[in-house]
Amino acid sequence: MKLFRQHWLICGGTGCQAAGSIAVRDALKAEIQKQGLAEEIAVVETGCNGFCAMGPVAVVYPEGIFYVAIEVSDVPELVSEHMLKGRPVARLFYKEPATKSVIPDMMDIPFFAHQKLIALRNRGILDAENIDEYIARDGYQALAKALTEMTPEQIIAEVKTSGLRGRGGAGFPTGLKWEFCQKSPGEIKYVLCNADEGDPGAFMDRSILEADPHSVVEGMTIAAKAIGSHEGYVYCRAEYPLAVHRLQLAIDQAREYGLLGENILDSGFSFDLHIYQGAGAFVCGEETALMRSIEGKRGMPRPRPPFPAVAGLWNRPTVLNNVETWANIPQIIQKGGAWYASIGTEGSKGTKVFALTGHVNNIGLVEVPMGTTLRTIIYDIGGGIPKKHRKFKAVQLGGPSGGCVPEQYLDTPCDYEAIVKVGAIMGSGGMIVMDDSTCMVDMARFFMDFVQEESCGKCTPCREGTRRMLQILERIVEGEGREGDIETLEELAAMIQTSSLCGLGQTGPNPVLSTLRYFRDEYEAHIRDKKCPAKSCVALLDFVVDEAKCKSCGLCFKNCPVSAIEWEKKKPAKIDLSKCIKCKTCFENCKFDAIN
């Protein structure tokens, strides 16, 4: 094995690739070759590092130096200074938003320091396309243990001891689901992975598949031994091409190494995996709709019971879990269920992965022990709200099925029961932070528009009820709300929740109900006063320059896309409302809060 003086790990997840990491990687390799360092320095493209807001990022080992926002033009300096002279380039270090302190070591950065990694244990530190690197990190040891040292009953008992609950949203005990399927009669059974991640702002499953696909392959194979299955499918949306590519490579490599296919590790047990690409229908994240889609039918839910553990894919007993759940399994089998159960809270064991997005400094993928408070995630890990003049308003948990949690509940621990008490759900892990510039009525409209668009149309309450709710919300944000609209929204929500066929309709009204619960005054202001307190709904706004505050800088004039602003040097600007298209460009560019 070749030894290198330094390893430069370049994040190659979708986020960093979009920011230019591939060009940076190639430039580094070319410059290293040019300087004659190819025998000393290794450049490795990894999966998602997690710190998406800072991309492209690189970690240099063995020092642990962390570089952020690297550009191709930075490469010659990095090579000449850091690689050749041993002087790290300080201007590319991470700067903490609150204190402005410069932090060179990755593990000293609060974003990383407050996390505990289990499902994400290999993120950003190995080449996701090289099975040898996964094996070097104890990969497939849990599978070997499960196949050669444990009975199916012992595997299930270990998972039950761990207390692992499904990370796809419902939170059903994983071991119990496996046990139901194992005891169901039938020679043909299936293991499925739900990678059809459709919540707005969610990218947990995608990032795991991009960074550590073998953990999912290993977890599913262990489950197959436990329930007596010999075939499995990963249902992944086609919009995740990099995840699909790396997962297929992982499957092919595992087959080549005898870790998938016939007679795995000479144990007498056989299991194989296939990828099925979904077409992007949100409803196919529901388990029965997902199975119908794999069967070649239109992805629409079916009534339950029978549950999939009894009659799932092709009416055979089936176990389905999501990507994050599968990524936990190898660690549970290798280290023991009691080890996993020692982390988290009484009712919610282990860790949870969240996609932290929105109005927060440190956008990215985080994994924390269950019971960690929202405040810790948003402020200690997330770095708080970006703009100093803005304040935290709410955080949306659980996507279209979840709810908005206001500031007074920031100290709520993140576990299944506590989150439900404040009007949201854990969901698959989407966490969207909103500051006081966010209109909660418009936020509810956005999620209802998403739910209505993604409704499969099979049942009337969801198909028609969500459309009616959306129409009312659209009227309200357009300044045409009427007395009684709030009560009608509540009545429709109750009807849709109780009579819809699947989880899409049953939870679809949640964002509306949670915003009505905590921000009812905003609805009333829109309806009665024809005002948007957040100054977000443009139909309710007129833009006027406050001459007392205007510094005559001309920024509003220079940025107005329709020439609706009149301005001369040393004179306050004026807005021609007949030309104004209410795009808010002047409001967003004014540095003196002079646009009312």
Q: State the pLDDT confidence band at 375, using cuts at 50, 70 and 90.
A: very high
Question: Mean pLDDT for the chain?
Answer: 93
pLDDT digits (tens, 9 = 90+) for 257-280: 999 999 999 999 999 999 999 988
CA–CA distance, 477 with 449 (Å, rounded to integer): 13
Could you report the per-residue pLDDT of 73-132, keeping only the tens digit for each? 999 999 999 999 999 999 999 998 878 889 999 999 999 999 999 999 999 999 999 999
Judged against a pLDDT cut of 60, whether residue 426 lies above it is answered with yes
Greater confidence, 388 or 188?
188
Class assignment of domain 351-435?
alpha beta
The domain made up of 131-341 has a fold known as Rossmann fold (3.40.50)
**Confidence class for position 387, pLDDT limits 50, 70, 90:** confident
Q: Which residues contact 474 (CB under 8 A, 6 or more apart)?
A: 445
| CATH 1.10.730.10 given to domain 440-529 | no
Mean predicted confidence (pLDDT) in 45-60? 94
- CATH for the stretch 542-596: 3.30.70.20
Give the CATH number of domain 6-108. Answer: 3.40.30.10
Find the mean pLDDT for residues 366-381: 96
pTM equals 0.92
Task: Give tens-digit pLDDT for 485-522.
Answer: 999 999 999 999 999 888 888 888 999 999 999 999 99
pLDDT the model gives residue 1? 57
Question: Residue 283: its pLDDT value, please?
Answer: 87
Average pLDDT of span 138-162: 97
pLDDT tens across 213-246, in order? 999 999 999 999 999 999 999 999 999 999 999 9
Return the percentage of the chain with pLDDT > 70, whole number: 100
The mean pLDDT of 524-539, rounded to a whole number, is 91
| Tens digit of each residue's pLDDT (9 = 90 or more) over 541-594 | 888 888 888 888 888 888 889 888 888 888 888 888 888 888 888 888 888 887
Rounded CA-CA distance 320/288 in Å is 10
* Coil, strand or helix at 452: helix
Domain boundaries, the chain: 6-108, 131-341, 351-435, 440-529, 542-596
| CA nearest neighbour of 422 among 414, 433, 432 | 414
E-assigned strand segments in 279-411: 318-322, 351-358, 364-369, 392-397, 403-406
Interior CA angle at 132 toward 126 and 134, to 5°?
45
